[in-house]
Structure 1
Amino acid sequence: MNLQANKSNLKVSIVVSDLSSAGAGRWGGGSVRSFLLAQALQKLNYEVEILGFVFGEAAVFPQSEIQIHQFIGHNYPKFLGSAAELLKRIDGDIIYAMRPKPTTLGLSLWKKFRTRRPVILDIDDWELSWYGGEEWQYRPSWKQLYRDIFKPDGALRNPDHPLYLKFVERIAPKADAVTIHTKFLQERFGGVYIPNGKDTDLFNPINYDAAESRAFYGLSNYRVLMFPGAPRPYKGVEDILTALDILNEPDLRLVIVGGSPYDDYDAQLMEKWGRWIIKLPKSPPTQMPKIVAAAHIIVVPQRNTPAALAQFPLKLTDGMAMAKPILATKVGDIPEIVGETAFLVEPACPEEMALQIKSIFADWDAASDRGRQARIRCIEAYSISAMATTLESVIASL
């Protein structure tokens, strides 16, 4: 294939493991890595399609130029039928597999074997970290192995069981190129560093009035700390809530946008810290700038865990693009991403967070100036355009 051909004639097929409302389809897909890469590819004048399985509730996607093809996800053996349908539908000149999983890289490499189309692998999470990382072992008894294979809900019927994930991680070098979004993942897998970009035209504070946004969402009476994402234990929301306990100032609130699609963790937080929490419903990506505009401070209190180290918190660029003061922890790539434009504290340290919150509000003009500097930094290094520039060189290398 001649990649020097007119780019407008070339198509990229992005293969995603889970396009459900709890997977890459959450929030309409707009802020998820696969959709950010799709936007960057569109900037380069490639035609883009996203293909993936739906394990669970189907997501609703807004109309766009990106073609989306969904296939019902099943456990083995029915999964083989769904996989055959997806493979038949892939018609891109380049295949872009999201994460080293059987449902993505495994199928993409099979398509490469049959068609010789190049495969790029993107790694935006360390899948095995959810199972204990390198320590995970599968050592069943013969009886358990039989159950895992032959019972209708047997563990090995899951197409992305960690046993299969471990194998697919080993064949990741079979991809023609690898892209990653954190230095932690780069050290583990190699590849080209492409941090998540933000649509800085959509996320532009000049188009929104903070006071009007707060009034619209019923937040006018509060100083708003905002966590625009899905809470999980490693994301440190409990530390911020403990900091609010320490401060005990009645007009402070933590606004959580969207909540967790994974489990009942939200309910656990509400039960213990409900007096500090305001929940806003899941909203389409185009509405997020208006929501973020209502914040005084964006909080990104990641804890120092393998799961956190492997991720690029999209909440950072939400806040940076909207010129908001950001309170974050010194975890992973966060200090490098924000530079001198955010307020950084040690992870899992509510006392330090409480002091920093107090300090931010005590000198609001200085905090706001840092927010403006953060937007400049975001445009230069963490925009969709910046993403596209690096992606272009990756594709040229094929």
Structure 2
Amino acid sequence: MTVNAPVASPKISILVSDLSKQGAGRWGGAVRTFLLAQALERIGVTVKIYGFVFGDEPCEPTVSDVPIITVPGEYYPGFIGRSRALLKQLDTDIIYALRPKPTTLGLALWHKRRTGCRVILDIDDWELSWHGGDGYRYRPSLRQLAQDTLKPRGALRYPDHPLYLRWMESRVSQADAVTVHTQFLQTRFGGVKIPNGKDTELFNPEAYDPQLSRQAYGLSDYRILMFPGAPRPYKGIEDVLLALDRLDDRDLRLVIVGGSPYDDYDQQLMQRWGRWIIQLPPQPVTKMPFVVAGADIIVVPQRETPAALAQFPLKLTDGMSMAKPILATRVGDIPEILQDSGYLVEPEAPEAIAQQIRWILAHPEEAQQRGALARKRCIEHYSIEAMSGLLSDVVRSLQSS
């Protein structure tokens, strides 16, 4: 694919709220922050990533040599000084703020007023969906308000408190351009839709031996359903496990790669369905193609919730790029992404999932053909190169306006 570079090569600073290993760095460079950086580099842009580190150590991405500049994150009032320290290090033409948060869009708009730089806002999640969505209200008692504002770790001292997130949503229109990655977010916020891209050269099935992968991870005795990501209730893992209960085939296993960095949900799954689950530790993105090579089916069983509608499941393109049969639900953009290259069922339908698992394993030639078609679609529409082309248009439009 030929990508038109911007009129002149600008300097773009990607601004991230949390670059810790619990934040944007939790998957070793596989999340949107680093996908955007890779895509921008391919159109000749000079890219740096800036952000805060709340809590643990900063991330160590494994797929890009883009410079990463961090400062420790703090609650208010210390956050004000940390923000100034970060902004002083910016040498940029465009700030690419990730998500409408005070720590990103808020600082970007502040810097724009001071320097005249342009601001692009990227929205790859609906932050308020984690706090009740449009129904969220902050209605504290006087005592609670005092605690939230006066205690050193009071809730309102956290820079990205949900109340502030709501305020920042009303500032989205102040960005010079907006990019999103799902139709749900585009309907809500507008902007240019730029789906996540996959490095299809790294995720190339011809470079990996499925049998060696199975041997390396102790999977040789089973037929493998794989979920390469962090399980959460809205991601529908329970529906796959209920399907395995129905099938009751001792040769089947669900491999979960990474576990949950948020809570003990994966342990809850193990307690109830441990006989079906094999859990692998988190893997750097450079190792993920080898892991995925060992799968018979990639499962993406999203449930229809606001959180799921807002997200683009990266595990979907893991499987597509590796030419794997994909069993997914008709939720959000998934049907558009897969079209005829995967197997679709309704959400929260364990019986339908069980039937499709049985069908896919009984028809390996058809499954292989669909996997090949999925890789073709991934290269054409959901690769880093495809992402670069769309980003080039956004950057060029800012330069010419």
Report the TM-score range of the alignment, normalised by the length of the smaller protein. Answer: over 0.9
Which is worse superposed, 72-81 or 368-377? Answer: 72-81
Alignment-mate amino acid for residue 302 of structure 1: Q
Q: Matched residues in 2 for 1:232 and 1:335: separation?
A: 21
Structure 1 gap segments, 5+ residues each? none
Partner of 2:86: 86
Contact 2:12 2:94 in 1 (8 A): yes
Distance in 2, matches of 1:320 and 1:361, equals 17
Q: Residue deviations 1:278-331, cap 9 Å, x none? A: 111111111110001011100000000000000000011000000000000000
Per the TM alignment, residue 5 of structure 1 is displaced from its structure 2 partner at its CA by 5.3
Structural mapping, 1:132-211, within 5 Å: 132-211=132-211
* Alpha-carbon distance in structure 2 between the residues aligned to 1:224 and 1:320: 16
Identity %: 64
Aligned-residue Cα RMSD (Å) equals 1.1
Which residue of structure 2 aligns with residue 393 of structure 1?
Answer: 393
Amino acid at match of 1:35: F
- Give the TM-score normalised by the residue count of structure 2: 0.96
Summarize deviations over 1:115-158 as a string: whole Å, max 9, x none: 10100000000000000001010111111111110012211011
Q: Which amino acid aligns with 1:66?
A: V
Tell me the SS of whatever aligns to 1:14.
strand
- For the 8 Å contact 2:256–2:278, the answer to whether it is kept is yes
Residue 335 of structure 2 corresponds to residue 335 of structure 1: yes
Residue equivalent to 1:48 = 47
1:81 corresponds to which letter in structure 2? G
1:316 equivalenced with 2:302 (yes/no):
no
Q: CA deviation at 1:93?
A: 1.3
How far apart, in 1, do the equivalents of 2:371 and 2:61 lie? 31
Residue in structure 1 matched with residue 213 of structure 2 by the alignment: 213
Task: Find the aligned partners of 1:148 and 1:51 in 2 and give their Cα distance.
Answer: 28
Amino acid at match of 2:83: A
1:33 corresponds to which residue?
32
Q: Relative to structure 2, which stretch is displaced further, 17-26 or 180-189? A: 17-26
Number of the residue aligned with 1:128: 128
Give the residue type in structure 1 aligned to 2:42.
Answer: K
What SS does the aligned partner of 2:341 have?
coil
**Residues 222-371 of structure 1: pairs in structure 2 closer than 5 A:** 222-371=222-371
What per-residue deviation string (whole Å, max 9, x for no partner) do you get for residues 161-214 of structure 1?
011000000001000000000000000000000000000000000101111111
| CA–CA distance in structure 2, aligned partners of residues 17 and 104 of structure 1 | 6
Match for 1:134: what amino acid? D
Normalising to structure 1: TM-score of the pair? 0.97
Match of 1:26, SS state, is coil
Structure 1 segments of 4+ aligned residues over 6 angstroms from their partners = none
SS of equivalent to 1:286: coil
Give the counterpart letter for 1:143 in structure 2: R
**Equivalent position of 1:15 in the other structure:** 15
Distance 1:73 1:305 in 2: 31
Alpha-carbon offset, residue 63 of structure 1: 7.5
SS of the residue 1:53 aligns to: strand
Contact 2:62 2:286 in 1 (8 A): no
Pick the aligned partner of 1:6 from 8, 31, 48: 8
Instruction: Give the whole-Å Cα distance in 2 for the aligned partners of 1:374 and 1:317.
Output: 9
Could you say what secondary structure the match of 2:160 adopts?
A: coil
**Cα distance in 2 between the residues matched to 1:62 and 1:329:** 31
One-letter code aligned to 1:6: A
Q: Which amino acid aligns with 1:164?
A: Y
Counterpart residue type for residue 127 of structure 2:
E
